[in-house]
Structure 1
């Protein structure tokens, strides 16, 4: 069962449902506009978070409302390990974020984990200070990289063929990407979870997602999303099979994706990379530069009871 939540008066909370997605999306958009000056998260990303396998929204999520019904905050925790908390800018300073952090830690303890991680934008000083005050330490860094699409030219290495993603390639793409990510990620996603967070999203753009073949085998992919920002084309996942790396295929896949987004009027190609991948220098060699960063903080969780 979900742990008890102690909110400051007069706020109330309940589990989130998919009916809350539009309101949560508006809240997250307000947070992003304050921090970044633009909205990056799509409504389908909110829905994917709430419906991903392994997360039971009835006990692993909350929405917080003011007496007039206005949504003031939301939170979720996945498998007792990863959590996310967003508080509307107009409602900061009321103790809502602290209460939700208590709740996520209690939920993590309830499912038997001994640590909890949260990702915070480096411009979010309040969120950073809150986690630091609780003894959370830096676990990893994430960087959002960008590249102007006007400067990209396509040079496909010899021996490869590239075309847009097709639905019947989903399982092969999953295998390719999770094999590549196994080199650094702590837990391999199931196909169902991977699909829910990527190719099943409404913003997934198969026509803009190049996949590469060598000898009839899928060896590279750049899966792309068409997100709200009118200027940016977004690469959700990019991977090249280990035995095919170092031949320029990643560069070609990103260039082809950039060309597709440029045809749609986008100005930049963006993607995220994680410090554990060691890929930041590679992307910088490909002509990308860091736009912004986030930090993953990890804290110890006391056993329940």
Structure 2
């Protein structure tokens, strides 16, 4: 794959999502961010298979973890197993001791393939949605806390806050550039719907939001609260301010993803979100 393959890969991923979920959840910026992962060499770590008409039929990438997608028109022909073989071989060649794949729980055939190859479940992921037929009410901030939308110049402070907050569960810190490629540098980044919380001028919480026009939904990419300010309702406050901003922008649904290692599912359910679907992260030792 290469940078000019982004549009074709997005069409492939979109077809897979429509088949499985009935809607598209991935924007081209997410595809581009994967190809720009630090350490990923597109010529070695990605593979794109075309059909006889030149359209993408399947793709895979591997870099600490891996993704495999096969176009619905080309399933049942062994392409998934072929790409899984390639991903494992490439991971071994790169010196990885394991490989990780995330598969939707509703994709029974993909789950069966991974389990038959020795993959074991590791983490559960959930995609949650917040329906907004009416404008959500946002609570008043706790004493001493102020909130405002994201502004130019907030990027590095927000990155520092989020990486510090995520240190509890993520395996490694993301550099600013890697974080920015997935957030503030994405074409779909929505600063007006991204909300920051301050205590005496110090940033203590943030939501980073994306606007997904193809899906017609808002996406909360990240939610973080500084450790010493948790338990005050700041995360709920930030989410509801973001939801309200999206509603005023014409969106009637907001979505976000979380996983079992963050411990945040209860918070999102308490805010009023519902699970749309779940996925499982599978791991295989390569020996």
Interval containing the TM-score (normalised by the shorter chain): over 0.9
Normalised TM-score (structure 1): 0.91
Q: Decide whether the 8 Å contact of 1:53 with 1:193 is kept in 2.
A: yes
1:154 matches 2:138: yes
Report the Cα distance in structure 1 between the residues aligned to 2:221 and 2:175, rounded to whole angstroms: 17
Q: Decide whether the 8 Å contact of 1:41 with 1:228 is kept in 2.
A: no
Matched position secondary structure for 1:101 = helix
Aligned twin of 1:9? none
Report the Cα distance in structure 1 between the residues aligned to 2:182 and 2:230, rounded to whole angstroms: 25
Report the Cα distance in structure 2 between the residues aligned to 1:233 and 1:287, rounded to whole angstroms: 16
Aligned twin of 1:85? 68
1:215 matches 2:200: yes
Matches within 5 A, 1:157-236: 157-236=142-221
1:285 matches 2:270: yes
Aligned twin of 1:50? 35
Q: Decide whether the 8 Å contact of 1:23 with 1:71 is kept in 2.
A: yes
Matches within 5 A, 1:101-140: 101-140=84-123
How far does residue 49 in structure 1 lie from its aligned partner after superposition? Answer: 0.9
Unmatched runs of 5 consecutive residues or more in structure 1: 1-15
Q: Decide whether the 8 Å contact of 1:39 with 1:228 is kept in 2.
A: no
Render the CA deviation track for 1:189-245: whole Å, top value 9, x for unaligned.
Answer: 111111111111111111110111111111100000011444421100000101111
Q: Which moved more, 1:94-103 or 1:158-167?
A: 158-167
Superposition CA RMSD, Å: 1.2
For residue 56 of structure 2, the aligned residue among 62, 71, 84 is 71
Report the Cα distance in structure 2 between the residues aligned to 1:200 and 1:53, rounded to whole angstroms: 15
Matched position secondary structure for 1:167 = coil
Report the Cα distance in structure 2 between the residues aligned to 1:230 and 1:183, rounded to whole angstroms: 32
Report the Cα distance in structure 1 between the residues aligned to 2:213 and 2:47, rounded to whole angstroms: 25
Count of paired positions: 285
Report the Cα distance in structure 1 between the residues aligned to 2:254 and 2:201, rounded to whole angstroms: 28
For residue 27 of structure 1, the aligned residue among 12, 25, 33 is 12
Normalised TM-score (structure 2): 0.96
Report the Cα distance in structure 1 between the residues aligned to 2:184 and 2:135, rounded to whole angstroms: 28
Report the Cα distance in structure 2 between the residues aligned to 1:70 and 1:124, rounded to whole angstroms: 23
Q: Which moved more, 1:30-39 or 1:187-196?
A: 187-196
1:267 matches 2:252: yes
Render the CA deviation track for 1:234-292: whole Å, top value 9, x for unaligned.
Answer: 10000010111111111111111011110121112211111001111121112111111
How far does residue 87 in structure 1 lie from its aligned partner after superposition? Answer: 0.3
Matched position secondary structure for 1:284 = helix
Unmatched runs of 5 consecutive residues or more in structure 2: none
